Every structure is written in C-alpha cells, then in structure tokens.
C-alpha cells in the first residue's frame, strides 16, 4: 500500500527537456512543483567531466547513461500477425535515462517543421487530390498551425542558444539560410557553426545543381551565449563527442546547460530522482487525476497527490503510462477505434556514401549538428505528382564524429577482417563523405503501440508493444531520396559511391534514429486523438502530455525543436487552465 505524501500543486513525470521547462515556468508562476525522475541526477561537471566524457566504449557502445533495458524496454514486431519479442539490447533507437533525459545525449539538431507539415493532409489533397494519400493512412492535419507555433519555436531556440542562419525573416528571404522555412520573427540567437571540408564540397556541388544549401541549425553552439533564464553556454570545440555523450564543455543545449541551473534556484521546486512513476491515479469517475504513485530507490511505494499531472517522459513511455493508468481509450487496430497508441511513426534513413581520393576530411573534428543541409526535397517543396508518394526528407552532408569503434568505413567489396581490411580501414578513414536523407514517416492503421500480453518490467507491469514497419509510401520516398543524395555525392567529386536504400523490414538491430513519435497525438477530434490542441488529455482535463508522442505523423526533421515549441505552447494553455480549470477545448 502506497504511503501518502503531502499534496503539491503540480507533479511532473520525467525531468528531461519538457519536464525541466514546464517545471521552471510553473515554479516561476508560484506553484509548488515536484518532478519525479526514474534515473539519477546528472550534472555536467561530475557526469560529463572532461576527464571521463570522451569515452566511446563506455557511452556509445555499452550505453552507460542510457535507459537500461533491464529496467524497461519494449517489445516489437513488424506486423500484427507476428509475435512481438522484447528489445533486449537497444539498437535502432536509444532512449535516455536520468535528469536531462534524451536532451543529454542528443546531437543538437534543432529544426522547425515547415508550414505545410502542419496541414499535410489538407495540403496534399488540395494540390494532388485524395488519391495521392497512401493506403491505410492515418495522416492528420495538426490542430495547430506553424504561425501559431512560431513564437514558441522562437522561445525554445533562444533558451537553447541555437546556432543557425535564418532563411526567412518576416517573409523576407535571407541569403545563406533555408529559403523554404516558415517566416520567423528574428534570426537565430547565435551564428552558424563552422563547417568542414566535406561541407564545403557539398555546398559548392549543391549550388551548382541549383539547390539551396544552408548550415543546419545547431544546439552545439558557435559562440558563448547567455540565455533568457540567465544560463550560460560556452563555444563548441568540435570535439566529436556529442550524440550518445554528455557535453563536458557546456556547449550543447541540454536541460543541464539551459534550464536546470535556473530551475534549481526556485525554492518551490524539488526533484526526486531514482523514483519511477508507475501510475497516474484517477478520481472515481475517471475524469480527474488525483496524483501519481511512484516507487523509490528502496522499492517503497508512495502516493504523491497533485492538482495537475504533467506527463513528460520519453514519447514511448508517455504512451505506456497512459495505457497503464487508463487515461484515454486504447487504440484497437482491428476496429480502427481508440486513441492511445494510435499513429506511432518513426523516420526513414537513406542516402549515399561517397569515397574520395586525395582529401583529408578529418572526421574527428566534428559536432553533432555540424552539417550543411538542403530542403529542396523536403515536405512539399517539390512536385510530388510524378512520384506517387507523400512526404520528403531533409538532405544533409554532416559529420558528427570520427570515433573509431563505430566509425571505420571501408569501400564496398573490402574483406571484413585481415590485413586487406586493415589497410582499407587506414586508407579510407579520411576519405568518406555521406550525403544522408532523413525522411518523414506517415501514420498508418497498422503501425501502433499497445501493451504486451507476455513480457513485463521488474515491477510486473506489461511492457509497451510496438508494431511497426515501413510502408510502400516510405520506401518509395526514401529510395527516391537516396538517388538524389547519390547525385550530390557524385557532384562533390566522389570517385565511388554506395547508395543506401531502404530495403527489407524495419529492424531493431542497427542504430537508425531515436525519433519515435505519436501514440498520444494532438488533434481536433477526440475519436482520433488522445490530446486536444493544447496537449491536454480529452478525457482527464488536469493531465497534459508533452513530447513527440503528440505528433500526428513524423516530418523529415529532428523532432526536438518542435517538441520544445509545443512545450511552451502548452505552458500558455496550462496558465489559462489554472485560472479556470476544465477542458480547454469542448469536444
């Protein structure tokens, strides 16, 4: 039996990007806030110390700071006819754990989605007719527009110190930026990062091809910066240890660098770490949350009553917690009814690897967001009529690292070991450039999340079950993008290229991307969305659910910029809710 603690105004579940931001904003407005985080506290100085941080084996291979599957994982299968099995070891995606969440180990690529992405269904049907939509799709317009979110994107970018070059300020196209982006009120807070030699070749080739390259917006920041919360960041040193690592330089935007130093000074805030929330408690009629149950580091169970419950865990685990708590109707693909677990989506990765001669790319001098991108083939920035697919991709020539356990490329046809392999590894390390396409994934009836009937976590609760595969629409799109990437790689001067297409079913084994979206989506209709446009549960009005679980489908960009914008957007709504509790949208 859980022991009951004194009530708080707000309980925040998970202390990553979204949890730390909502905690700070609500604590500043005078509320008593407690954040409950299942992993440990993490600080830059101690956990990402410069004497220990640059350790590829410890972090990128053994996953020291990640969620350990032993504590929680999920099961997966490609389609409902199969039996899902647990992801025993992380591969395709890598959820974070502890204070800072995935905001500790991300690369820092911080995008805004395009205006068309927010009304993709309407836009595609208007331009091409309904026949362009793929079979079995659940593609939905977002219930919020780019213009509505713009001030909130701006807010997040200025908190995170993002380095970039605007392409469109108040409708005026800016040279050197992304001409396809939605209008922004002002430029990025810090100038773009420096780029490497690969990016120089890519920029030149893309310009000659009539494309529109620009430095991608980066959370590894180019110059010293102090954000509106008074938190200071230092310039990136291009050390090449971003993704899967904490940053020792205070150069990567994260809750640690951008939010926590301000948050912890709020006397009405407290964090309880190594405590796992197991359930959101509901009132007898199921219409209000009364607080949460959590298990502490000693295995003791506690009830934390609260007036407002903010679900701020990683997207997949938000969905699981809603299912375990009975908030919202679980999605049933057989009947195509229910909302929680609906519209799970992911991303495609395809592209071309170019092998060059007589170059020194120095791949180790890199950063997670270093790279030059182009959006000519993203969203609906190009005519889809000849291609018969929906969606697009951001195409990037990036270099995030040269860490040699995982990065020692060889040309196709090289033996996998022995002296010939060794020679090829030596000769190739400096001479590879990748042109990659990060593509959108639409939502479908057959891609969803629910609870697994067999496998459980150490507390005896069912694991989340993921049923997902790429559909023909995504394969067509990703493989078309791979050809575009190959054209650019060749124009850059590659002597040989290897085209990386999307083949076979989705697999958990190779790392792809930790951009898992959907499952608790926002929408205008409570029969097809778990949350209203303010990220408020349709069913339980004092529960708001942050994160990429809210995306109705996924776009061809990294999600964090949009996650940050939605968080600030929701905070405005929560402030309204606090003045007059109840549903902010009448169904």
Partner 1 sequence: MSLQSNRDHRFVVTRRSLLASAALLITTTGAGARVVTKVLPWRPNDAYPVKPVVPGGYLFFTAGEAAAVDAIVGRLIPTDELGPGARDAGVTTFIDRQLTGPYGGHDWLYMQGPFSEKPLPTQGLQSPLTPRQQYRLGLAALHGYCTASHGGRGFAELNPDEQDKLLTAMEKGEVSLPNFSAKMLFSAIYANTMEGYFADPIYGGNRDMAGWKLVGFPGVRYDFRDVIDKPNEAYTLPPVSLQGRPAWGGR
Got the DSSP string for 85-141? EE--S--S---B-STTGGGTT---B--PPPHHHHTHHHHHHHHH-GGGSPTTB----
Look at the chain and count its residues: 587
Measured from the CB atom, the residue of 36 and 535 that comes closer to partner 1 is 36
Q: 478 vs 108, 246, 442, 471, CA distance in Å? A: 23, 31, 12, 11
Measured from the CB atom, the residue of 382 and 421 that comes closer to partner 1 is 421
Q: Indicate the pairing of strand 301-311 with strand 8-13.
A: parallel
Write the burial class of residue 413 (CB in 10 Å: 0-12 exposed, 13-18 middle, 19+ buried): exposed
Q: What is the phi-psi region of residue 574: left when phi exceeds 0, alpha when psi lies from -120 to 50, beta otherwise? A: alpha
Measured from the CB atom, the residue of 458 and 581 that comes closer to partner 1 is 458
Q: Shortest gap between Cβ of 184 and partner 1 (angstroms)?
A: 27
Contact between 110 and 369 under an 8 Å Cβ cutoff? The reply is: yes
Residue 169, strand partner residues: 172, 184
Taking the C-alpha atoms of residue 243 and residue 53, their distance in angstroms, rounded to an integer, is 12
Measured from the CB atom, the residue of 25 and 457 that comes closer to partner 1 is 457
Q: Shortest gap between Cβ of 240 and partner 1 (angstroms)?
A: 7
- Under DSSP, is residue 11 helix (H, G, I), strand (E, B) or coil? strand
Residue 101, strand partner residues: none
Q: Shortest gap between Cβ of 35 and partner 1 (angstroms)?
A: 9
Measured from the CB atom, the residue of 151 and 305 that comes closer to partner 1 is 305
Q: Shortest gap between Cβ of 232 and partner 1 (angstroms)?
A: 14
Taking the C-alpha atoms of residue 50 and residue 427, their distance in angstroms, rounded to an integer, is 30
Contact between 472 and 488 under an 8 Å Cβ cutoff? The reply is: no
Q: Tell me which residue has tokens 């999920």.
A: 74
b/e per residue, 497-528, with b = 16+ CB within 10 A? bbebbbeeebebeebbbbbbbbbbbbbeebeb
Measured from the CB atom, the residue of 91 and 129 that comes closer to partner 1 is 91
Point out the residues that are catalytic.
515
Measured from the CB atom, the residue of 139 and 292 that comes closer to partner 1 is 292
Taking the C-alpha atoms of residue 240 and residue 401, their distance in angstroms, rounded to an integer, is 4
């Amino acid at each position: 039996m859980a022991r009951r603690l004194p009530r708080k105004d707000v309980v925040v579940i998970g202390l990553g990007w979204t949890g730390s931001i909502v905690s700070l904003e609500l604590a500043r407005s005078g509320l008593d806030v407690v954040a409950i985080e299942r992993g440990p506290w993490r600080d830059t100085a101690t956990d990402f110390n410069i004497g220990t941080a640059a350790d590829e084996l410890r972090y990128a291979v053994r996953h020291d700071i990640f969620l350990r599957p032993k504590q929680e994982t999920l099961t997966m299968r490609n389609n409902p006819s199969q039996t899902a099995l647990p992801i025993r070891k992380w591969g395709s995606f890598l959820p974070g754990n502890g204070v800072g969440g995935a905001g500790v180990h991300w690369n820092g690529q911080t995008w805004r989605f395009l205006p068309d992405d927010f009304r993709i269904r309407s836009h595609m049907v208007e331009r091409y007719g309904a026949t362009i939509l793929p079979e079995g799709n659940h593609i939905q317009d977002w219930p919020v527009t780019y213009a509505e979110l713009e001030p909130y994107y701006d807010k997040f970018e200025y908190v995170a110190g993002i380095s970039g070059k605007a392409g469109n300020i108040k409708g005026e196209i800016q040279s050197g930026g992304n001409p396809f982006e939605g209008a922004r009120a002002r430029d990025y807070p810090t100038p773009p990062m420096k780029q490497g030699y690969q990016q120089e070749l890519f920029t030149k080739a893309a310009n000659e091809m009539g494309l529109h390259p620009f430095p991608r917006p980066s959370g590894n920041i180019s110059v010293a910066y102090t954000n509106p919360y008074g938190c200071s960041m230092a310039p990136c040193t291009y050390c090449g240890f971003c993704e899967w690592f904490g940053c020792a330089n205070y150069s990567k935007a994260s809750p640690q660098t951008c939010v926590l130093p301000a948050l912890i000074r709020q006397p009405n805030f407290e964090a309880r770490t190594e405590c796992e929330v197991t359930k959101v408690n509901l009132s007898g009629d199921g219409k209000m949350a009364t607080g949460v149950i959590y298990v502490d580091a000693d295995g003791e169970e506690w009830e934390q009553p609260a007036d407002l419950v903010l679900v701020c865990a990683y997207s997949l685990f938000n969905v699981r917690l809603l299912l375990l708590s009975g908030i919202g109707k679980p999605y049933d693909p057989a009947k195509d009814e229910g909302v929680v677990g609906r519209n799970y989506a992911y991303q495609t990765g395809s592209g071309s690897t170019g092998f060059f001669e007589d170059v020194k790319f120095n791949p180790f001098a890199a950063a997670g967001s270093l790279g030059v991108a182009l959006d000519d083939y993203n969203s609906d920035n190009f005519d889809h009529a000849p291609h018969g697919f929906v969606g697009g991709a951001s195409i990037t020539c990036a270099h995030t690292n040269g860490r040699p356990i995982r990065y020692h490329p060889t040309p196709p046809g090289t033996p996998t070991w022995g002296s010939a392999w060794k020679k090829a590894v030596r000769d190739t390390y400096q001479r590879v450039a990748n042109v990659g396409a990060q593509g959108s994934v639409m939502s479908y009836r057959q891609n969803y999340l629910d609870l697994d009937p067999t496998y459980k976590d150490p507390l005896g609760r069912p694991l989340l079950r993921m049923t997902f595969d790429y559909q023909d629409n995504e394969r067509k799109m990703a493989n078309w993008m791979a050809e575009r990437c190959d054209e650019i790689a060749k124009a850059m001067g590659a002597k040989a290229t290897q085209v990386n297409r999307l083949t076979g079913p989705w697999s958990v084994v190779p790392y792809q991307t930790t951009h898992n979206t959907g499952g608790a989506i926002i929408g205008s209709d409570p029969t097809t969305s778990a949350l209203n446009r303010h990220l408020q549960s349709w069913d339980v009005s004092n529960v708001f659910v942050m994160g990429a679980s809210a995306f109705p489908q996924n776009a061809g960009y990294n999600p964090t910029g949009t996650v940050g914008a939605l968080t600030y957007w929701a905070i405005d709504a929560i402030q309204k809710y606090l003045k007059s509790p109840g549903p902010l949208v009448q169904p």
